[in-house]
Amino acid sequence: MYGPWFVAALSILRATVQHQPAPRSWGVLLVTSAMAVALCVSHSTRSVLAYVTLGIPPVTALVCFWELVGQVSSKHRTRKGAHAPQRSKA
């Protein structure tokens, strides 16, 4: 389950650094995350607390990865802008 998730995550990071879209990899990541939630919840007792407790780790992993991609892309934009020559208005 986490093999395809990991490969898709690496593909997304590579695409982010290279400024390329990765819709297929995001699809794989979302599907495998949803499957992980479903599998975790399916093995739990039938209570809302169990559903929430067992569903949180895969969702948290997805949210944390989303943040990581945002950090990588914003850091790359900042570096790119920092090296650009600035024009003087004089």
Nearest of 42, 78, 40 to residue 58 by alpha carbon? 40
Q: Determine the pLDDT at residue 15.
A: 92
d(CA 65, CA 32): 13
Q: Is residue 77 part of a domain?
A: no
| Residue 78 domain flag | no
pLDDT of residue 50: 83
Tell whether 83 is covered by a domain. Answer: no
pTM score of the predicted model: 0.70
Range of the domain at 48: 2-70
Please give the pLDDT value at position 87: 58
Decide if 86 is inside a domain.
no
Range 2-27 average pLDDT: 90
Give dist(CA 8, CA 24) in Å, integer: 8
DSSP symbol at 61:
H
81 lies in a domain? no
- Beta-carbon contacts of 23 under 8 Å, excluding residues fewer than 6 positions away, are none
Structural domain total, the chain: 1
Counting Cβ atoms within 10 Å, is residue 68 exposed (0-12), middle (13-18) or buried (19+)? middle
